[in-house]
Amino acid sequence: MNLVTDITTWYSTHMTYWSIAGLMTVESSFVPFPSEVVVPPAAYVVGVDASSPLCVFDQYWLNVTLIVLVASVGAILGAVINYGLSMWLGRPIIYKFADSKAGRVLLLSSEKIQRAEQYFNDHGKVSTFVGRLIPGIRQLISIPAGLARMNFAAFLGYTFLGAFAWNIVLALLGVLAKGNQELIEKYNEELSVAILAIVALAIVYFVVKYIVKNRKRKA
């Protein structure tokens, strides 16, 4: 996609907190744009010496923690756009738009929307957290949340947690892959699966701990 290439080239010399937030807002909305070209490069240049040619437009003052936070705020803004439009337009128009020419240009389809909606229906509110870690669901999970008129505060909370976890994954990828885009694209799916496994184990741990504590209390 030439547009993505052009934006990536522009971003490499305009890497600021504003551009990170802006691009992550786009990525998290219905516009197809890969988050892999936003957070990993920014996280990588943080560790590059300021005298390096990579350090143009003052990237060296970026902080990796703030990169993750700003990217997460951008992701929330994009998700809110999807949530608001879905709630306002309603299911028939959203599905019709997804199958229109404009929808196809944005890589949407009624099948993709239906898959995201089914995932939301199967997993409930927590899907807005877990769904942010799943390729193919990540950008669309806020649409069924809007269609279902999910509690907005809960939506924001789960979305932030999911986006924050995913952006930590992207930042780690940027550091470990040393900015190599091919490696980042190769391993981002594996790392998201690893994060999901950790989340699942944490949930199981707390559930078991709660059950054991309850039984001890009753005994």
- What would the pLDDT profile of 17-36 be if each residue is shown by its tens digit? 899 999 999 888 877 777 77
User: What pLDDT, on a 0 to 100 scale, did the predictor assign at position 71?
Assistant: 93
Look at residue 57 and tell me whether its pLDDT is greater than 50: no
At 135-150, the pLDDT tens digits run: 667 778 888 888 888 8
Q: What is the pLDDT of residue 187?
A: 60
> Token pair of 126, please?
């927590």
Longest Cα separation, the chain: 67
- For position 50, what pLDDT does the model report? 47
pLDDT in tens, 90-114: 777 887 877 777 777 776 777 888 8
Q: Look at residue 56 and tell me whether its pLDDT is greater than 50.
A: no
CB 120 within 8 A of CB 141: yes
Closest CA to 175 of 68, 70, 71, 75: 68
The yes-or-no verdict on residue 59 having pLDDT over 60 is no
Task: Give the pLDDT score at 70.
Answer: 93
Alpha-carbon distances, residue 34 vs 25, 40, 154 (angstroms):
11, 11, 26
pLDDT digits (tens, 9 = 90+) for 149-162: 888 998 999 889 88
Q: What angle do CA 69, 183, 9 make, to 5 degrees?
A: 65
- pLDDT, position 69: 93
Distance CA 137, CA 120 (A): 10
* Closest by Cα among 140, 138, 100, 96 to 117: 140
pLDDT tops 90 at residue 6: no
What is the C-alpha to C-alpha distance for residues 49 and 95, in angstroms, rounded to an integer?
A: 49
How far lies 53's CA from each of 37, 59, 81, 110, in Å? 19, 11, 37, 45
